[in-house]
Amino acid sequence: MRLSKMHLKTLREVPNEAEIPSHILLLRTGMIRKLVSGVYGFMPLGWRSIRKIEDIIRQEMDQAGGQEIHMSAVQPAELWEESGRWFAYGPELWRLKDRNGRDFCLGPTHEEIFTDIIRSDVSSYRQLPLNLYQIQTKYRDEARPRFGLMRSREFIMKDAYSFDRDQAGLDRSYEEMYAAYEKIFTRCGLTFRPVEADTGAIGGSNSHEFTALSEVGESEIAYCEKCQMAATVERAECVDAPASSAEELPLEEVHTPGTKTIEEVADFLGIGQDETIKALLFVTYDEEEKENGYVAAFVRGDRELNMTKLINALKIPEHSIEFADEEKMGAATGCVGGFTGPTRLHDCTIVVDSELPGLRNLCAGACKTDYHLKNVNYGRDYKADIITDIKTLKEGDPCPVCGAPIKHARGIEVGQVFKLGTKYSESMGATYKDENQKEQPIVMGCYGIGVTRTLAAVVEQHHDENGIIWPMSVAPYHAIITVMKPDDQTQADLAEHIYNELAAAGVEVLLDDRKERPGVKFKDADLLGIPVRITVGRGAADKTIEYKLRRDADKEEISADEGIARTIEIVNKEK
């Protein structure tokens, strides 16, 4: 491809809303184009890289026994009602009506559709196992689309679904997909880590996220250097503080004026924050978005509530709970903003973190302005509707597996695999007849990769101050030939010769034949990040060129023939 003919518009300035390198660079290189918030199009270079990622995914999915199909992005509401997700998925589901008022959505994921296919097409154990996948545009009306392709409202996803006879079959399918994901992300040039994950709105039992390590990532992961435990912070289990054997002291109300926070009350009373109880108050909503209850959650004062664990404990969708208006909740439940404790509360669901019942003589709000209670003990002074781990595993906390101090890191979730089990096959009636003619539910798994997010993650991990540094495997082109003076016939001829030789050898090559100053062309070449750069300049008379890899600092003067040979070699090795 000749740059003089290519539809390419690089930018010097990008909008302020682009804050992270991948967003800035994908806009500056003109690879993506914003249409509206969270909706992007792809220009020629961007689309080539997307297709490279898709091809890697296809090859590895096919290798692992997957079969590609292509379903519509438009999905009828009825299927989502069957699975119970028309409500549960919440406002992220991009809903629409046809001219007759029938409800549809633009698919954020396709469990219902694939389960529907299988329940009509599969009837016998002989047809299982199966793995079907597609690469397709997905829609999620995200509350906060941001960071360009990272969290968008329209994005490309590869979604695969496995169908097995039993749990052991699912375990095998899951392992195969897990292994395929490791190959895919490695081939894309990503440094990543598979971590245990929560199953969220998709459901099921086990799950792993594949997280590309990056400071700008929205996923926080907790890991242990001693035993290899790694999980998202949402998911990571915590170790409860050891139960206390102290004697229960009498309950005592103390005047603690103005001490609304844990820090203030602990300082005021001269006790540790770990000797207090922290309250967090929520209101919940029903399917009609009407308030239908209050929740008070309690953790030890120095802990942080883990919202994902709380939602799982309550068995409600993420979107049907939010922080309560304390005054309104107070009138109904007796809580008092800043002074709420688990005693004296009524008419609300009380969720207590698993370690609190074992601790003795804690200090908690008295549900009375400017007062706290000392020596609060579980059983004698308060009870819970639910007791479970609802706290967040913090950096330095003991590892739930081996006890060593936990570390935290940030990353970009590029893929996630789930063992769904029979969640969809049972709610939607997808069964098969086993060897004994007995109906059994099909056991399912599902496996997603964010194709467009993966592109952003690659840029995030491969760039410098001058631009992108593409790994060969996903680079839009392998090599770029920059002609210093396109009007100089010797230079133009040599560049043309190299261009033809490389193209004939299967190298994807760009020829920068634009009538621009060399400085502009070099800047663009760095910005675009094409892995191999060949410069044809004054040496053209002696058939020498300058050869440079984008990722290396040094350049070399070598013969054109050697430049061609080296380029072919490195492209074949790394593509």
Give the binding site for ligand ATP (CB under 6 A). 109, 140, 142, 151-152, 155, 157, 200, 202, 413-416, 448, 450, 452-453
Q: Using the minimum distance from each CB to ligand ATP, give the nearer residue, 122 or 474.
A: 474
Smallest gap, in angstroms, from Cβ of residue 482 to Mg ion? 42
Smallest gap, in angstroms, from Cβ of residue 413 to Mg ion? 5
**Partner from ligand ATP, Mg ion, none binding residue 151, C-beta < 5-8 Å depending on class:** ligand ATP
Contact 62, 71 (CB under 8 A): no
Q: Using the minimum distance from each CB to ligand ATP, give the nearer residue, 392 or 482.
A: 392
Closest CA to 441 of 71, 62, 163: 163
Smallest gap, in angstroms, from Cβ of residue 308 to ligand ATP? 10
Smallest gap, in angstroms, from Cβ of residue 418 to ligand ATP? 8
How much of the chain is in helix, strand and coil states, percent to nearest 5?
30, 30, 40
Smallest gap, in angstroms, from Cβ of residue 87 to ligand ATP? 17
Smallest gap, in angstroms, from Cβ of residue 28 to ligand ATP? 20
Contact 265, 320 (CB under 8 A): no
Smallest gap, in angstroms, from Cβ of residue 445 to ligand ATP? 13
Distance CA 360, CA 376 (A): 7
Distance CA 459, CA 462 (A): 5
Beta strand residue intervals within 165-214, DSSP E: 192-196, 207-213
Smallest gap, in angstroms, from Cβ of residue 219 to ligand ATP? 7
Distance CA 160, CA 213 (A): 24
Q: What CA–CA distances, in Å, run from 233 to 237, 238, 281, 303?
A: 8, 10, 21, 13
Distance CA 527, CA 45 (A): 12
Distance CA 273, CA 263 (A): 7
Smallest gap, in angstroms, from Cβ of residue 411 to Mg ion? 12
**Partner from Mg ion, ligand ATP, none binding residue 312, C-beta < 5-8 Å depending on class:** none
- The conformational region for residue 148 under phi > 0 = left, psi -120 to 50 = alpha, else beta, is left
Instruction: Output the six-digit token pair for 73.
Output: 């992005």
Which residues are within 8 A (CB) of 559 and not within 5 positions of it... i.e. 6 or more apart? 543, 544, 545
**DSSP label of 239:** P
Phi, psi torsion values for 520, nearest 5 degrees: -65, -45
Per-residue string for binding with Mg ion, 358-397, x by CB under 5 A? ----------------------------------------
**Partner from Mg ion, ligand ATP, none binding residue 166, C-beta < 5-8 Å depending on class:** none
Q: Using the minimum distance from each CB to Mg ion, give the nearer residue, 301 or 450.
A: 450
- Chain positions 106 to 145 lying near Mg ion, rule: CB under 5 A, are none
Smallest gap, in angstroms, from Cβ of residue 360 to ligand ATP? 39
**Partner from Mg ion, ligand ATP, none binding residue 415, C-beta < 5-8 Å depending on class:** ligand ATP
Q: Using the minimum distance from each CB to Mg ion, give the nearer residue, 161 or 499.
A: 161
Distance CA 519, CA 556 (A): 18
Q: Using the minimum distance from each CB to ligand ATP, give the nearer residue, 151 or 478.
A: 151
Q: Using the minimum distance from each CB to ligand ATP, give the nearer residue, 416 or 544.
A: 416
Q: Using the minimum distance from each CB to ligand ATP, give the nearer residue, 155 or 477.
A: 155
**Partner from Mg ion, ligand ATP, none binding residue 446, C-beta < 5-8 Å depending on class:** none
**Partner from Mg ion, ligand ATP, none binding residue 154, C-beta < 5-8 Å depending on class:** none
Smallest gap, in angstroms, from Cβ of residue 53 to ligand ATP? 11
Closest CA to 536 of 500, 466, 486, 572: 486
CA atoms within 13 A on the CB side of 148: 31
Smallest gap, in angstroms, from Cβ of residue 307 to ligand ATP? 13
Binding flag, residue 416, Mg ion (CB under 5 A): yes
Q: Using the minimum distance from each CB to ligand ATP, give the nearer residue, 459 or 479.
A: 459
Give the residue closest to ligand ATP by C-beta. 450
Contact 132, 114 (CB under 8 A): yes
Closest CA to 424 of 448, 446, 444: 444
Kind and range of the H or E run holding 86: helix 85-88
Q: How many residues bind Mg ion (CB under 5 A)?
A: 1
**DSSP label of 391:** B
**Partner from ligand ATP, Mg ion, none binding residue 529, C-beta < 5-8 Å depending on class:** none
**Partner from Mg ion, ligand ATP, none binding residue 185, C-beta < 5-8 Å depending on class:** none
CA dihedral 357, 359, 365, 370 (to 10 degrees): 160
Count other C-beta atoms under 10 Å from residue 187's C-beta.
19
**Partner from Mg ion, ligand ATP, none binding residue 453, C-beta < 5-8 Å depending on class:** ligand ATP
**Partner from ligand ATP, Mg ion, none binding residue 365, C-beta < 5-8 Å depending on class:** none
Smallest gap, in angstroms, from Cβ of residue 450 to ligand ATP? 2
Which residues are within 8 A (CB) of 244 and not within 5 positions of it... i.e. 6 or more apart? 358, 359, 360, 361
Instruction: Output the six-digit token pair for 488.
Output: 């100089």
Q: Using the minimum distance from each CB to ligand ATP, give the nearer residue, 105 or 202.
A: 202
Stretch that binds Mg ion, among 186-194, 235-243, 365-373, 413-421 (CB under 5 A): 413-421
Kind and range of the H or E run holding 386: strand 386-388
Distance CA 178, CA 165 (A): 19
Q: Using the minimum distance from each CB to Mg ion, give the nearer residue, 416 or 461.
A: 416
**Partner from ligand ATP, Mg ion, none binding residue 202, C-beta < 5-8 Å depending on class:** ligand ATP
Q: Using the minimum distance from each CB to Mg ion, give the nearer residue, 75 or 416.
A: 416
Distance CA 318, CA 202 (A): 12
Q: Using the minimum distance from each CB to ligand ATP, give the nearer residue, 105 or 362.
A: 105
Give the residue closest to Mg ion by C-beta. 416
Stretch that binds Mg ion, among 53-61, 68-76, 347-355, 410-418 (CB under 5 A): 410-418
Q: Roughly what angle, to the nearest 10 degrees, separates helices 44-63 and 167-187?
A: 140
Q: Using the minimum distance from each CB to ligand ATP, give the nearer residue, 142 or 166.
A: 142
Sheet holding 479-483, edge to edge: 509-512, 479-483, 532-536, 544-549, 555-559
Contact residues for Mg ion (CB under 5 A)? 416
